Amino acid sequence: MGPGDLDKALCDLPLIPNPNVIRGVASLDDAGVYKLTDELAIIQTIDFFTPVVDDPYTFGQIAAANALSDVYAMGGKPLTAMNVVCFPTKSLDISVLKDILRGGLDKMREAGVALVGGHSIDDTELKYGLSVTGTVHPNRLVTNAGAKAGDKLILTKPLGTGIISTAVKAKMADEETAAKVAKCMATLNDKASELMSEVGAHACTDVTGFGLLGHTVQLAQNSQVGINIYIASTPFFPEAGEFAKRGLCPAGLHRNREFYATAVRIASEVPSHMQDILFDPQTSGGLLICLAARKAELLLNKLRQVGVGDVAIIGEVVSEPRGVVTVISQKKA
Ligand code: CO
Ligand code: CO
Ligand code: CO
């Protein structure tokens, strides 16, 4: 089963058309969007998963930042959230859950989001996340279907968190690397989203489980364009490159590569550890923003001014081949 097969099962449902649903199940976007009035739409999303780090408080922060990110990716403002908890009460002390919830709440506070409820069940495996509701003016909604030929692509966080998390679990990464990556995953995409709306973007998505290339393929296919990615300008954690060279890769990476193979063309000059990084499933990754070429440097500078440091223009949108992502080392002169 590929990463998209579960999504397909959802899309095969006999959905009821509704004129107020702006982005729904069939849109394969980051979140659902429902128009309430001509001036107001609500954005709804849910995300929860098993721990990606050992420390419960940090896990809570990362899970919350990740869930909130889908609202930011739509150009919206998250307002309320509900905790989603699966907890093994027989094998773990309840203090672990308290620390996770405290981490999540601290991120909600940072985001200006109100916790309004939640649901928990006893489960054999620990899982935590949020369901989030936000708002956006329907005219300011940023979907993953609006990329235009000539646009530049901006990525706001470095890649490689999945490979490094795998190394941490295998006790192969040092504490400094583990802390650096955890901090990156726990960072909100709020500033990137606000500045994207301020400058104006054509399309956006956040880079998560399908890796940079999986999410870029979705952008290309939903927008009916081609996308070129230049690896010489793509930010990634150098440690991820080292671990990938030693063959350390999460299982999801291989699933992503197989699933998106037909929609991705990678030049032979791209080394295999870089290919791994491009397919690496990210937890709470950065925003991938498509915007007019003349605005790209402006957004880049604004992002750097507010401390979004590892940000770069990583590629551009082309008219052909549609729905295909081409990876080369750098733009040909
Ligand atoms: Co998303
Ligand atoms: Co999501
Ligand atoms: Co309940």
What CATH number should be reported for the domain holding residue 74?
3.30.1330.10
Domain that holds residue 43: 5-140
- Answer yes or no: do 284 and 252 share one domain: yes
Note whether 191 and 312 are same-domain residues: yes
Determine the Cα–Cα distance for residues 42 and 138; give it in Å rounded to an integer: 9
Average pLDDT over residues 174-190: 97
Specify the range with the lowest mean pLDDT, choosing from 2-16, 34-48, 127-141, 265-279.
2-16
CA of 68 to the centre of ligand 3 (A): 21
Choose one of 140, 170, 186: the last residue of a domain. 140
Instruction: Answer whether residue 12 shows pLDDT above 90.
Output: no
- Element (DSSP H or E) covering residue 121: strand 114-122
pLDDT surpasses 50 at 1 = no
Q: Give the closest ligand to the alpha carbon of residue 120.
A: 3
* Rounded CA separation 93/55 (Å): 14
Instruction: Indicate the SS3 state at residue 23.
Output: strand
Residues by chain with Cβ below 5 Å of ion ligand 1: 30, 70, 206
- Total number of domains in the chain: 2
Both tokens of 128, joined, read: 């935590």
Share of the chain above pLDDT 70, in %: 98
Using one digit for the tens of pLDDT, what is the confidence trace for 218-245? 999 999 999 999 999 999 999 999 999 9
Residues 303, 173, single domain; the answer is yes
Q: Which residues surround ligand 3, an ion (CB under 5 A)?
A: 119
Helix, strand, coil percentages (3-state) for the chain, rounded to 5, are: 40, 25, 35
Q: Residue 200: CA atoms inside 13 Å, Cβ hemisphere, count?
A: 6
2 has a pLDDT exceeding 60: no
Alpha carbon of 333 to ligand 1 centroid (Å): 33
Domain assignment of residue 145, yes or no: no
- 232 CA to centre of own chain: 21
* Structure confidence at residue 3 as a pLDDT band (50, 70, 90): low
Q: What is the β-pairing status of strands 325-328 and 264-266? A: parallel
Distance 91 CA to ligand 1 centre (A): 32
Q: How many percent of the chain have pLDDT more than 90?
A: 92
pTM for the model: 0.96
Ligand 2 (single-atom ion) residues, CB below 5 Å = 47, 70
Considering every ligand atom shown, identify the ligand nearest to the alpha carbon of residue 82 and give its number: 3
Please report which confidence band the pLDDT of residue 10 belongs to, taking 50, 70 and 90 as the band edges: confident
Q: How far apart are the C-alpha atoms of 41 and 33, rounded to whole Å? A: 6
Residue that terminates a domain, selected from 89, 115, 140: 140
Do 112 and 82 share a structural domain?
yes
* Cα Dmax for the chain: 62
pLDDT digit string (tens) for 74-130?
A: 999 999 999 999 999 999 999 999 999 999 999 999 999 999 999 999 999 999 999
